[in-house]
Copies of this chain bind each other. A is one copy, B any other.
Amino acid sequence: MTNKQYGKKQWALSDGYIPLQSTGREPDFVSSDKVSILNTSFDEATITIILYFMDGEPAGDYKFKVKPERVRKVRINDLIDPHAIPLGVSYAGVIESDVPVVVQFTKQNSAQKELAIMGTKAYPAD
């Protein structure tokens, strides 16, 4: 098996939103935005996320690692260091990596029982 390098080092998303209320059963069906990061390379990836809002300064840098040849899912809700993410607000984000990674963004909204929506999209920016 050769050292694969799938993806890009820069990704962005602009339509993040986490509602305040939720009707789903924990933990699978609560409202959440997730970033799925695939690192196909033989090198550990260092990831930096910066979040942008409608009002106020950007938050970050949120930093974490993705091991070689592994996938990692990061719940935006769980980002607390250096700042907890607010609920009930719109946000956008950029994701940067030191090795190429594949990023997909998953929205799940269970605030209204009949309204279960999901989009999956991140923009490969470099």
Contact = CB atoms under 8 A, between A and B. Distances in A.
Interface of A: 1, 4, 6-7, 10, 12-15, 19, 24-25, 28-29, 34, 36-38, 40, 52-55, 57-58, 69-73, 90-92, 94, 101-104, 106-108, 110-121, 123-125
A52 B69 contact: yes
Query: Could you say how many copies of this chain the assembly holds?
Result: 4
A14 B36 contact: yes
Contact of A116 (B15, B102, B115): B115
- A-B pairs with the 3 shortest C-beta distances? A119-B120, A38-B92, A14-B38
A53 B70 contact: yes
A54 B73 contact: yes
A15 B104 contact: yes
A86 to B, nearest CB: 13
A15 B74 CA distance: 11
A34 B90 CA distance: 12
13 contacts: A7-B125, A12-B102, A13-B38, A14-B104, A15-B34, A15-B106, A15-B120, A28-B112, A52-B69, A54-B73, A71-B92, A73-B90, A117-B118
